[in-house]
Amino acid sequence: MENRPLEYDYTVTKMFMFTTIALGIVGMLIGVILAFQLAYPGLNLMLGEGLAEYTNFSRLRPLHTDAVIFGFTLSGIFATWYYVGQRVLKVSMAESKLLMFLGKLHFWLYIITVVAVVISLFAGVTTSKEYAEFEWPIDIAIVVVWVLFGMSIFGLIGIRREKSLYISVWYYIATFLGIAMLYLFNNMEIPTIMASAPDGSHVGGNWWHSISMYAGTNDALVQWWYGHNAVAFGFTVPIVAMIYYFLPKESGQAIYSYKLSLLSFWGLMFLYLWAGGHHLLYSTVPDWMQTMGSIFSVILILPSWGSAINMLLTMKGEWQQVAASPLIKFMILASTFYMFSTLEGPIQAIKSVNAIAHFTDWIVGHVHDGVLGWVGFMIMAALFHMAPRVFKREIYSKSLMTSQFWIQTLGVVLYFTSMWIAGITQGMMWRAHDEFGNLAYSFIDTVTVLHPYYTIRGVGGLLYLVGFFMFAYNIYKTMSARPVEESELQSASPMGA
């Protein structure tokens, strides 16, 4: 048994665990609403005609994506960093007043930014760029939050006892650097208050409004260089950081191969950035750039699968653990969905396949294989692992966890099969010509045919949300239960006996 020389301080972890759950509920609830709005457009008026401006599909959609990405996922990343970082670097936050202060400041500024984002998106203040909707004042706040995150990472590394960096730390560092670079370049914008009227009179207008530094095709190029890598450094790299810590820790197994970790990491870093062109296939960017995007996407399968395989092999010979522990089930299924979406992506990145897939629900299906099956499962698993250690209590209910696992798995399966059918159907119908060589379908025919699949997707999403509420309840009951003796916790598995 390891002896614990240190008392780790989980104050900041706890704070971010709370926002992970709260913003997860908000984001996924909106996701379910969106799904049903497409199946039953009457729901655009769910709060009446007067509020339709704020409750219709198009106003809510950016709120969903930003709440789950910058709310749920990012909080999860922060929460796990403040937990994993201390433990693999063998230093406690309590050892540095400064780091503790920065951590709390990080949290509170993050909260303020979240509030500003929610208000501005409801008000329709957006720049329209996907996953970079925010106007410049919020961009500045985000940069500050990010710098504080960086200071936490490098501050903790600076005072570490463990000389050599664990694999997870590599990935956290890459997350920090990647997002920092991408976010800055994609948000180069000129506030319109900087312009002046030719006759010198006062112009007025909204002070927060800005326009992009880049125009047209260039703007698209920068946006998808960002957009693709926001996925890479938001949904992949930090989640890999999590699984490299939580799976071996939870199962007590050693990582299968250091070499595989190493090659997968540097391979991923090198290849990921090149693949962004796959969002712009058949657009007006030069052909050679599109080709690059396709080629690198295909090569990217291997470093992605490398990490997943390393995780599956770490569980070699441990089937009884997988069978007994819902927590490990979550992580094994997460690896599987990671493999699925990192093969699906490259296939969709092949030009001829993208000719059908682009603009359809098959892409939405691909997105949610990844985010529900991989990102969501992994973040929930991480919180389940941390909760007993952070709150010093046993997990409230293991059977609740098992039911949650199956309900959510069913949810993901319904989501992706329905979007698979919807997307391919729509893509093929758009292309179809009839016996006369005329278009076989008017656009609306390709919309009405999707109704059943939109309904099934809504049900799938609802199941996933129900599972998330079970998760939230489980954590809440854990938090508020009777404290357990320190010694008891040391030997008990987090699941209870």
Question: Among residues 57 and 473, whose Cβ is nearest to ligand HEC?
Answer: 57
d(CA 23, CA 474): 17
Q: Which is nearer to ligand HEC, 36 or 272 (CB)?
A: 36
Closest by CA position to 365, among listed 304, 417, 317, 293: 417
Distances (CA, A) of 67 to 8, 25, 426: 30, 9, 28
383 binds ligand HEM (CB under 6 A): no
| 319 versus 436: smaller Cβ distance to ligand HEC | 436
C-alpha neighbours within 13 Å on the C-beta side of residue 37 = 19
Smallest separation, CB 72 to ligand HEM (Å): 6
Binder of ligand HEM out of 26, 39, 68, 331 (CB under 6 A): 68
* Pick 200 or 482: Cβ nearer another protein: 200
Contacting residue, 62, 178, 346, 494, with ligand HEM by CB under 6 A:
346
Residue 418 · residue 457 · CB < 8 Å: yes
Q: How far apart are CA 304 and CA 295, in angstroms?
A: 15
Number of residues that bind ligand HEM (CB under 6 A): 47
- Bridge partners (DSSP) of residue 190 are 211
Q: Check residue 109 for interaction with another protein (CB under 8 A).
A: no
In order of 321, 385, 397, 458, the CA distances from 29 in angstroms are: 33, 24, 24, 11
Nearest to 276 by CA among 262, 292, 263, 287: 292
Q: What residues line the site for Ca ion (CB under 5 A)?
A: 134, 139, 187
Q: Which amino acid is residue 373, in one-letter code?
A: G
Q: Which of 15, 23, 26, 35 binds ligand HEM (CB under 6 A)?
A: 35
**By C-alpha distance, which of 493, 87, 1 is closest to 251?**
493
Q: How many CB atoms lie within 10 A of CB 340?
A: 17
Burial 413-434 (b: 16+ CB within 10 A, else e): ebbbebbbbbbbbbbebbeeee
Query: Is 14 an interacting residue with respect to Cu ion (CB under 5 A)?
Result: no
Q: Which is nearer to ligand HEM, 243 or 300 (CB)?
A: 300
Smallest CA-to-CA distance from 412 within 304, 348, 330 is with 330
Which range touches another protein (CB under 8 A), out of 67-75, 424-432, 457-465, 485-493? Answer: 424-432
Which of 279, 329, 385, 393 touches ligand HEM by CB under 6 A?
279
Tell me if 379 sits within 8 A of 242, measured CB to CB. Answer: yes
Please report whether residue 443 would count as binding ligand HEC according to CB under 6 A: yes
Subset of residues 32 to 71 that bind ligand HEC, contact rule: CB under 6 A: 57-58
Give the span between the Cα atoms of 126 and 138, in whole angstroms: 11
Rounded to 10 degrees, the C-alpha dihedral 68/73/484/252 comes to 140
> How many CB atoms are located within 10 Å of the residue 182 CB?
23
* CB closer to Cu ion out of 87 and 228: 228
For residue 154, give both structure tokens. Answer: 């490098």
Q: How far is the CB of 317 from Ca ion (least distance, A)?
A: 42
Mask 376-415, x = binds another protein (CB under 8 A)? ----------------------------------------
Restricting to residues 350-369, name those near ligand HEC by CB under 6 A. Answer: none
Whole-angstrom distance, CA of residue 263 vs CA of residue 268: 8
State the nearest-atom distance from the C-beta of 193 to ligand HEM, in Å: 30
Which lies closer to another protein via its Cβ, residue 301 or residue 400? 301
Shortest spacing between CB 320 and ligand HEM, in angstroms: 29
Kindly tell me which residue out of 129, 228, 366, 457 binds Cu ion, with binding defined by CB under 5 A.
228
**Would you say 12 and 106 are in contact if contact means Cβ atoms under 8 Å apart?**
yes
Which of 22, 46, 447, 472 touches ligand HEC by CB under 6 A? 447
Stretches 16-24, 103-111, 345-353, 456-464: which one binds another protein (CB under 8 A)? 345-353
Q: Closer CB to ligand HEM, residue 155 or residue 427? A: 427
Which residues, listed in sequence order, are joined to residue 191 by a DSSP beta bridge? 210
Q: Counting contacts by CB under 6 A, is residue 130 touching ligand HEM?
A: yes
- Which of Ca ion, another protein, ligand HEC, none does residue 95 bind (CB under 5 to 8 Å by kind)? none
- Does 358 participate in binding Cu ion (rule CB under 5 A)? no
Site string for ligand HEM, 224-263 (x = CB under 6 A): ---x---x---xx---------------------------
Residue 433 DSSP SS3: strand
For Cu ion, which is the closer residue by CB, 232 or 382?
232
| Smallest separation (angstroms) from Cu ion to the CB of 470 | 32
Q: Give the integer Cα–Cα distance in Å for 29 and 464.
A: 10
Residue 385, C-beta contacts closer than 8 angstroms, at least 6 positions apart: 246, 249, 250, 327, 494
Of residues 228-257, those binding another protein (CB under 8 A) = 245, 248-249, 253-257
Q: Residue 408 corresponds to which tokens in the numbers above?
A: 């959510």
Q: Spell out the residues 6+ positions from residue 308 whose beta carbon is closer than 8 angstroms to its own.
A: 335, 336, 338, 339, 342
Residues contributing to the site for Cu ion (CB under 5 A): 228
Residues contributing to the site for ligand HEM (CB under 6 A): 28, 31-32, 34-35, 61, 64-65, 68-69, 72-73, 130, 227, 231, 235-236, 275, 278-279, 297, 300-301, 304, 341-342, 345-346, 348-349, 354, 357-358, 363-364, 366-368, 370-372, 374-376, 461, 464-465
Residues contributing to the site for ligand HEC (CB under 6 A): 57-58, 443-444, 447
